[in-house]
Amino acid sequence: MNQPGWHLPGIFLPFLALVLTISGCALPSLNDRVESRSVPAEQTANTRLGAAIEPLTLAHPSESGVVLLENAHDAFAARALLAEGADATLDVQYYIWQSDITGTLLLDVLYRAAERGVRVRLLLDDNGISGLDKPLAALDTHPNIQVRLFNPFVVRSPKWIGYVTSFQRLNHRMHNKSFTADNQATIIGGRNVADQYFGAGQGAMFADLDVLAIGPVVSELSDDFDRYWSSASSYPAAIILPEPAEVDLERVVETTRECSASTEASRYVCAVAESGFLKNLLAGDLEYTWAPVSMVSDDPAKVWGEKSKNDPVSRQLAEAIGRPERSVTLVSPYFIPTETGVEMFREMESNGVQVRVLTNSLEANDVAMVHSGYAKYRKPLLEAGVELFELRKLPGGEPQEERLQKSLTGSSSSSLHAKTFAVDGKRLFVGSFNFDPRSVHINTELGFVIESPELTRMMEARFEEQVRVTAYELVLDEAGDLQWLERNGEQVITHSQDPGTGLIKRMMVSFFSFLPIESLL
């Protein structure tokens, strides 16, 4: 006979299991973490990269050389070649790294670099490495590879349990992206490591932008990498991930080789081999634009809500850009200006500054919930005088309504992912910063401000060319309602609602716009 008070309802046992799981969600101690720092550029001057770059930098003291990487294949080739050319160090930092073709190929080049004696430090945000726990744990056992996870989830599966206990911490992510070889050359920008960023595979594709840089700004970025690497949010993989078996590293190498030999990967490698960037680099004909370049970066303490030692990226950008006098041309895939931003643009327009913005249309946006945060500001922006354009869905995607569910949860057909803006035909920003509350207040961000009239005017000219061909222009009709103008040569088609979308999706976006979630977008 059961005694009173000892009868356990059936629902109690699952609840008890959840409580016990949650109780083990505390982050481990970092007391035994071994620290390391980037190797000064002076000590890598005799590497292959150093020997090739030093004559160029000596000819341009106090300036950095930059190359814009717009083409997806060029962007992949640049990373692969930096890894292959490194002799001393590779410092690599990303928000997302997927276990697809390009992710696997780039892990392979890092492994091969480590095999020839290069020290590899790989810092990944733990929110974007789905399916990579075993490979990363195995690579971390290599004597020349150190893997760290930024702001990690303690419970590995399912990860969402972490949000139950630590949402305030885990909602903050490291959105930075950089790839630095021998402290001599670096690549930063909007691209994560996944097929959709590098034009591989058959799925979604992103239009994105990176910068390859050499010169003084590289050491500045290496110092910033060290700051993140040694931060309180950076955890060695060995104390977060399950312990790998002795054969796991061999399996990772074998899996990588099998992927590399696959038909799809071989086809992609052949396409990259045709890259104009690759041919120019191998021929010694790569042309750099030389200009003063400054780095803007958030303090990693931002994820803990602590007071930063330096201003946030948003304020650093405001100071670096100064007060626009003539024009602002902004490209942002996730554009949520907020009321403050609308007022700022209205003031610019009233002072004679031309403001132009290109963002994703609803049919091209890969996160429709974010679109709901932007959509309510379209009329106020147009009323303020802002010229507003929305990228059309590029050819090759599935019909939008067939992809409804995937679009609402973060997948898409071809869409805009580049984050850049130009000011007064003089200054250009390229980086990871979106013009939205998440970039301003929640995530850490990284970018370069380039003082180059040549590159800035080139970006502005391409903006003008592209919006005519690939974007809808938004206007207000006589009644003050939104219209989308689609230009196809001499033909202009007028849409009275978000083009290329169905009623259900528009209704869901409208519903999201009423929720108090703007600060999280």
Active site residues: 175, 177, 182, 417, 419, 424
Q: Which residue has the tokens 């200009």?
A: 291
Q: Which residues contact 46 (CB under 8 A, 6 or more apart)?
A: none
339 in helix, strand or coil?
A: helix
Distance CA 400, CA 32 (A): 51
> Among 419, 393, 395, which Cα is nearest to 505's?
393
Distance CA 186, CA 91 (A): 9
At residue 84, φ and ψ (nearest 5 deg) are -70, -30
Residue 187's DSSP bridge partners are: 179, 212
Contact 317, 87 (CB under 8 A): no
Contact 84, 115 (CB under 8 A): no
Looking at beta carbons, which pairs linking 511-517 to residues 24 or more positions away fall under 8 Å? Answer: 511/372, 512/368, 512/369, 512/372, 512/373, 513/372, 513/373, 513/375, 513/376, 515/372, 517/369, 517/373
CA distances from 76 to 150, 200, 277, 331 (A): 24, 10, 10, 22
Q: Which residue has the tokens 């500001």?
A: 377
